[in-house]
Every structure is written in C-alpha cells, then in structure tokens.
Chain A
Amino acid sequence: MDKRKMIVHSTHAFLGIVHFISLWFALAILITGGDFILVIFLHLLSTAVIILAGFSTHSIFSHLGANRTAISILAYEPVLVIIAISAFMLTGSFDISALYASEVPPLYKMPLAFIALLLILPVKLKKSPFDVGEAHQEVVGGVELEYSGIFYEAIYTAKWLDYVFCYLLVFLFGGSNIWLGLILVVLTFIYINALDNSTARVSYKQMLRFCLWVALPLAFANLLLTMFNIL
C-alpha cells in the first residue's frame, strides 16, 4: 500500500500533474532540437501552472511560496528570452537543432550570454544565494507545500527534470562539439554546488535587482554583439 495521498482539491492535484507533463514536453522539444521560443514558453507554462496551484489553496505558506516563485520568474525569464534571441541572431533560426549543428561553438560567439545564464541558473534551480522560492524550509516549503503522496512524487520528479533542462541549456553552448558541451556541464555543476554551499541567501528584492541590473544588461550586451557580428 502506498502512502496515502491527501488531496486539497482536485484542481490542485490536476495542476501538479500538468506541471509535470508540460515540463516533459519542454524537455522533449529541447532534446529533439525544436523551437527555442516554444521550449521557453512550455517551461514558463509549467512554472505558471504550479504557481496557480499554489494560489488555489487556502494555506498561507503555499501563497507565500507562489508569490516568491512568481518573483523568481520575473528575474530569470527576460534573460532566457534574450539568450534565445541571441541564438536567433547567431544561427538565423529559432530551431535548437541549428545550435546543435553549429560548427563554431556558440560559447565563442556569445560568451556574455553564457555568463548571464550562469548568473540566473541558481534562481531556476533554487540554489542558495537566490533560493527565494522555498528558502530551504525557512518559508516551510514553497509552492509544493500542499502536495502529498503520488502527486508530490510528480512535483519532485519535475524538480529533477528541471535540473536536466538547465544543464541541457548549458550543453547547448558547446554546439556540435560534444566534449566542450560536456565539460561546460561538469564545470557548471561544480560551480552551482560550490555557490550553493558557500553563499548566504539574499532577499528577493536584492535578487531581483541583481538579475535585472546585472544579468539582463549582460544578456542584452551579448545580443548587440551578436547582432553586429563583432565576435
């Protein structure tokens, strides 16, 4: 017999499953080399759905987690979209397969975008300086607070899918050079874990200010560089 599930209400449980499924779709399109904008949209959809689920209960901690997750979307989403546009300027299409096939690794063509991605990855992965969404239990548990049993399993698996998603984004910067991509993934993994264990949490305002004043201009500068073909 499995752990009993306590369902708050059916919509809440359903939104959790939708979160899981839409993340799978985003991952599948990213792997098969589909449209970059569609990938970002599906990823945003999955996060938006879990935020809706957080707001659909009466628990104040669930609301708090949903609010803070919404703020973290505000921090990383613009950067991600600008990186996608930079990739469009580089390859001339929004297809990710063009990035996979590019002879010169995109890392050399858009290094600033890679740095901007490194700066927003802790926000997406909920790692330490920017883990406002759940704050390591200090705001009890974030949006997934009210899930239990098999529905929580879906949410928990989705969290790991998110990791795969983020590291695949890093892998994209290797282009057709698989080894460069793998090295980038390993280095990013070490960087994220070192950062998580060596920094203290900042407040959500500081996070927002950092992402919108440092990471976003970096990504934008990169967009200009790629647009005028300087590198």
Chain B
Amino acid sequence: MKLNKYRKKSPWILHYNAGGCNGCDIEILACLGPKYDIERFGMINSGNPKQADIMLVTGPVTKRSRERLVDIYSQMPEPKVVVACGSCTCTGGVFRGMYNCEGGVDQYIPVDVYVPGCGCRPEQIIAGVVEALAKLEQKTKDIEKSIRLDRSPQINNGQMDRREIAVEIAPGKVFG
C-alpha cells in the first residue's frame, strides 16, 4: 500500500511555539480559519508529532523550550520537513541577542523553509508550506535512493569497500 500519494495531497501539520510573541501563531491560526482555510487542501493541524509531516515552528528558541523542540522534532517519523515561520524563528529577529534565547531554530534542528516577516502573512505561510511539500517529496525520494544503491561495493583484498559510494550519498544530500 502506498501512503505516499495521499500524504502529498494532505500533509498534516504540527505547530510548535518556541517562545515567540504569539503574533505568528495567530497568523497560522488565521490560515486554518475560514478566510484562508488551508484545511480545504487537506492540511490538518494535528497535535501529534507521530502523525505529522510538516512542523511549523514559531519563535526564537528560548532556553526553556529548546529541549522540548528537539524532543518533538525527534518524535516525528521520517520523512519530515521543518518550516520556520517568522523573522525571530529564522534569525532571532527582535529577540536577537537577548539573554534568554539564542536566535534561530536552525541552531537546534535542521530547517527546510524559512518564512520571513514579523509576523509573517498567511499568504507567505501558505507559500512556505507549498514549498515544504516539494521538499517533502524530494526527501521521500532521497530515502529510497539511500536504500537502492546504483553501484555495488568494490572488493579490495577480500575486504568490502563502500567509501566511494558513501561519498555519493553525502548526509546533506540524503536527509537535508
């Protein structure tokens, strides 16, 4: 059975606030509300990391929330993408240099799409999620690639040598 086709059409979203001012959260809720209504595309805001495909993070990562951020990220099954919503999520924004946060989600988890703006407009969020969907598809294919090798490993002196193949499947290429 292939879940793949259906997942592309209805990605489930996990929303986590890592200590932002709630401005971007309200914009995300506006996306889910009747005016922008991204639920018509099948995007459901699920509160459960185990069933989500896209993680929407808002807020600079405060020292209190970073453990939970990494925890939630690691609970999501592969393939997954992370969308950083808002300036403070991308770079620290207005909170940059403050004593309680370290500016930017990408210091802790790999981010795939950066959505700028303080707070980011719902149109931008939707565009970011659509971009994330393309990335999700690419990642899905990459996972397959890492399993099906094009070349078989060479044998040197009776020893299997996978080094050349390992160069081709660089970690950046496979998971991010």
Q: Which of A138-162 contact B (CB under 8 A)?
A: 140-141, 145-150, 152-153
B47 adjacent to A1 (CB under 8 Å): no
A152 adjacent to B143 (CB under 8 Å): no
A3 adjacent to B77 (CB under 8 Å): yes
Pick from A1, A2, A147: contact of B51, CB below 8 A.
Answer: A147
B47 adjacent to A149 (CB under 8 Å): no
**Residue B3, interface by CB 8 Å:** yes
Given contacts A3-B3, A4-B77, contact A152 B46 (CB under 8 A): no
Q: Which of A2, A4, A6 has the most CB of B within 10 A?
A: A2
A140 adjacent to B47 (CB under 8 Å): yes
Name the residue on A nearest B52 (C-beta). A148
> Interface 1/0s, chain B 51-85, versus A by CB < 8 A?
10100000000000000000000010111000000
Q: Which of A1, A150, A152 has the most CB of B within 10 A?
A: A1
Residues of chain B lying within 8 A (CB to CB) of residue A6 = 50, 75, 77
Name the residue on B nearest A138 (C-beta). B47
**Residue B144, interface by CB 8 Å:** yes
**Residue B4, interface by CB 8 Å:** yes
Residues of chain A lying within 8 A (CB to CB) of residue B140 = 1
Pick from B1, B7, B50, B141: contact of A147, CB below 8 A.
Answer: B50
Name the residue on B nearest A141 (C-beta). B48
> Interface 1/0s, chain A 1-38, versus B by CB < 8 A?
11111100000000000000000000000000000000
Q: Which of B1-53 contact A (CB under 8 A)?
A: 1-4, 7, 45-48, 50-51, 53
B47 adjacent to A3 (CB under 8 Å): no
Pick from B2, B47, B51, B141: contact of A148, CB below 8 A.
Answer: B51
CB distance from A154 to the nearest CB of B (A): 10
**Residue A137, interface by CB 8 Å:** yes
CA distance A215 to B78 in the complex (A): 46
Name the residue on A nearest B75 (C-beta). A6
CA distance A153 to B50 in the complex (A): 12
Q: Which of B107-157 contact A (CB under 8 A)?
A: 140-141, 143-144, 147
B1 adjacent to A153 (CB under 8 Å): yes
Pick from A3, A145, A150, A153: contact of B48, CB below 8 A.
Answer: A145
CA distance A9 to B130 in the complex (A): 34
Residues of chain B lying within 8 A (CB to CB) of residue A1 = 4, 79, 140-141, 143-144, 147
A140 adjacent to B48 (CB under 8 Å): yes
Residues of chain B lying within 8 A (CB to CB) of residue A145 = 48, 50
Residues of chain A lying within 8 A (CB to CB) of residue B75 = 6
Residues of chain B lying within 8 A (CB to CB) of residue A149 = 3, 77
Given contacts A1-B4, A3-B53, contact A137 B79 (CB under 8 A): no
Q: Which of A137, A145, A148, A149 has the most CB of B within 10 A?
A: A148
Give the top 7 A-B pairs by smallest Cβ distance, nearest first. Answer: A148-B50, A4-B77, A137-B47, A1-B143, A1-B144, A141-B48, A4-B78
A contact residues vs B (CB 8 Å cutoff):
1-6, 137, 140-141, 145-150, 152-153
